[in-house]
Amino acid sequence: MIDLKDLTITKARKALDAKQFSAVELAQAYLDEIKKKNKELNAYLEVFDDVLDQAKRSDEIIEKGKSYPLLGIPLAIKDNILIKDRIASSASKILENYTASYDATVIEKLKREGAVFLGRTNMDEFALGGSTENSAYGPTKNPHDITRVAGGTSGGSAATVSANLALGALGSDTGGSIREPSALCGVVGFKPTYGAVSRSGLMAATSSFDCIGPITKTVKDAQIIFDVIRGKDKLDSTSFSQEPFLRKVRKIGVPWDLINQEGIDVKVKENFREAVKNLKNLGYEIKDIKLPNCLALYYIINFAEVSTNLARFDGVRYGVHKDGKNLLGDYLLSRGTGFGKESRRRILLGAYVLSAGYYDAYYGKAQKVREALKKEFKELFSKIDLILTPTSPIPAWKIGEKSNLLSMYLVDIFTVTANIVGVPAISVPSGFMEVEEKKLPLGIQFMAPHGGEDLLFEVGKKFEAMK
Amino acid sequence: MDIKDVENLASLVRIELKEDEKRELLSDMKGILEYVRQIEKVNVKHSVFNITNNNVWREDTPDPREFSKELITKQFPDAQDGFLKVKKIL
């Protein structure tokens, strides 16, 4: 029996190389666990039928005496990342029958390493949401309390890692979609610098915010996956290869104004203060900084880009097609029935903020504020090395509890900023809070300057080691 | 904003809506737009605004990629002689 609970990518690598267990045995252990738990959690939308064949191929490479960091490691992949010959639906009805005709660049890199893909994970439709409740295939449940959400939009990916249904997972992060579900499920979630990982083969939500990144049990594991998937790609002109970042972390900025306001759970604040104390004990200097609330800015740009990006789904070349009276009728019906509520809402809002009479007031203004914020961050990072906040203002909430849209949007208050300015950020577990006799996980978030991933890994590992 | 605006936007984005969906969207959108309208109050100094994005160029040379034509054509909702078939446009 392989002990999946305490297994990490680092440990599994050693065990595989030492032949303590084979990749097939490891994959089988995960398949058994998935069989036991996935029905209840709804974390995987599909478990691939060739998992053991993939693992067998990895074993053959191991037999030859070769070793790569992810060789034979079982991973879960978010449903908006393309794997050739497999369905990729973005948890939407409109793509329920869509089969990818090529590999995303990250998938190509993972395949080259001999990683094993267990299946595709549940998410908010087209990565629009924050709880995985917007999936057309039902919400993912939080492994720590199945009456609660797993967070989102990469809720399925975070739940698989948290419940030992995968050793690691890929998610995508547009405004917190890797970090927030990771915090709510008690695992590590890492969003790289914008452009550090190629977006080729990732279904676009907000192209100027989107990033692919890992969800894992430890900071070291996140770093291992990141090192495999990073790098410039000719298929994504926004991607780049990073220069090593020479800087040590000494000063950490905390935006106390933003954290001490109402709407942030009292126990989240307590947990956060405890984390700050621990970081002080590690020798870091904590500085009070000011950060604005960026939600309005974030959502205007999100609506506009989502509206544009989702225009391609029209039922003409692939996906769900509904027959109307004429071509226009086909569009109206296919899109009307294929998209879920939140997608439709954001498509309409995007068309509104981009329309002639309102463009300057909304989208145009948002772009100006975004430029100003980028400049502000540059100045800020000349005085401090990292920024620290809670990842989410509240712990996992009950499924169906948040019927008010704005209250759902407000959960992203601490995470959207990193996407707006394009800096890397990581969510690390910071303990639990007790609610109704259940222990719900919490997380804290570090943000670093552009290209400062190493700073996040360094401090993240030290914080993690204090547990 | 009223129901006519919702209808107009829905026709622009090619989404058919039922009557009750229109009413629900109208109320949702009003609430959200009222919230994001706070962006108006943010003061931005004129001097900070300069677009820093640059074009990324590459050589204009063909670079074949491996796509599965079969996988693409197999997914056409309607096809004839290997071509995608759509309804009359004009």
pLDDT digit string (tens) for A242-261? 887 878 999 999 999 999 99
- pLDDT confidence of A98, banded at 50, 70, 90? very high
Q: What is the pLDDT of residue A17?
A: 97
% of chain B surpassing 70 pLDDT: 91
A295 pLDDT higher than 90: yes
Instruction: Give me A282's structure tokens.
Output: 């590690």
| Within-domain flag for B70 | no
Catalytic hit among A78, A109, A141, A217:
A78
- Lowest mean pLDDT of A42-46, A138-142, A242-246, A368-372, name the range: A242-246
C-beta atoms of A102 and B66 within 8 A: yes
pLDDT band of residue A170 (cuts 50, 70, 90) is very high
Q: What is the pLDDT of residue B21?
A: 96
- The predicted structure's pLDDT at residue A246: 77
Average pLDDT over residues A332-361: 96
What are the pLDDT digits (tens) for B5-39? Answer: 999 999 999 999 999 999 999 999 999 999 999 99
Domains recognised in chain A with CATH numbers? 1-292+368-466 (3.90.1300.10), 297-361 (no CATH)
Q: Is the pLDDT of residue B48 over 60?
A: no
pLDDT at res. A245: 80
User: Residue B42 is nearest to which of A337, A352, A369, comparing CB atoms?
Assistant: A369
Picking from A228, A39, A70, A259, the residue whose alpha carbon sits closest to that of residue A146 is A39
Please state the rounded mean pLDDT for residues A296-307.
98
Q: Tell whether B11 is covered by a domain.
A: yes
| Active-site annotation holder among A177, A198, A334, A343 | A177
Of B14, B49, B74, the CB nearest to A335: B14
Nearest by Cα to A22 from A67, A54, A56: A56
With cut-offs at 50, 70 and 90, classify the pLDDT of residue B46: low
Residues A71, A53 contacting (CB under 8 angstroms): no
How far is Cα A370 from Cα A294, in angstroms, rounded to an integer?
A: 9
| Cβ neighbours of B48 in A, within 8 Å | 368, 371-372, 375
Tell me if B58 and A234 make a contact (CB, 8 A cut-off). Answer: yes
- Which CATH number covers residue B25? 1.10.20
The predicted pLDDT at position B65 comes to: 79
Check pLDDT > 80 for residue A179.
yes
The terminus-to-terminus CA distance of chain B in angstroms comes to 33
- pLDDT at B89 (0 to 100): 84
* pLDDT(A457) > 60: yes
Residue A389, strand partner residues: A445
Q: Which two tokens stand for residue A391?
A: 């990842």
Q: What is the pTM of this model?
A: 0.97
Residue B64: per-residue pLDDT: 82
pLDDT over 90 (residue A5): yes
Residue A97 neighbours by CB under 8 Å, 6+ apart: A87, A319, A320, B75
The answer to the question of residue B56 being in a domain is no
Q: What is the pLDDT of residue B53?
A: 66
- In sign, the C-alpha dihedral spanning A349, A353, A356, A358 is positive
* B27 in any annotated domain: yes
Q: Is residue B72 part of a domain?
A: no
For residue A251, the cross-strand partners are A285
- Indicate if the pLDDT at residue B51 is higher than 70: no
Among partner residues A98, A100, A331, which is closest to B14 by beta-carbon distance? A331
Q: What average pLDDT does the segment A293-306 reach?
A: 97
> A253: part of which helix (H) or strand (E)?
strand A251-254
Residue A177 is among the residues annotated as catalytic for this protein:
yes
Question: Helices (DSSP H) in A320-427: which residue ranges?
Answer: 327-338, 341-354, 365-380, 405-409, 416-421
Please report which confidence band the pLDDT of residue B47 belongs to, taking 50, 70 and 90 as the band edges: low
Average pLDDT rounded to a whole number, residues A318-342: 96
Contact of A211 with A191, CB cutoff 8 Å: yes
At residue B47, what are phi and psi to the nearest 5 degrees?
-65, -25
Average pLDDT value for residue range A101-130:
97
Query: Which chain B residue has its CA at the smallest distance from A326's CA?
Result: B87
Interface contacts (A, B; CB < 8 Å) = 143
Domain count, chain B: 1
Packing angle, helices A453-465 and A219-229, rounded to 10: 160
Most A CBs within 10 Å, among B20, B26, B41, B42, to test the A interface? B42
Residue of B nearest to A297 (CA): B39
Residue range(s) defining the domain that contains residue B31: 3-45
Q: For residue B60, tell me if it sits in a domain.
A: no
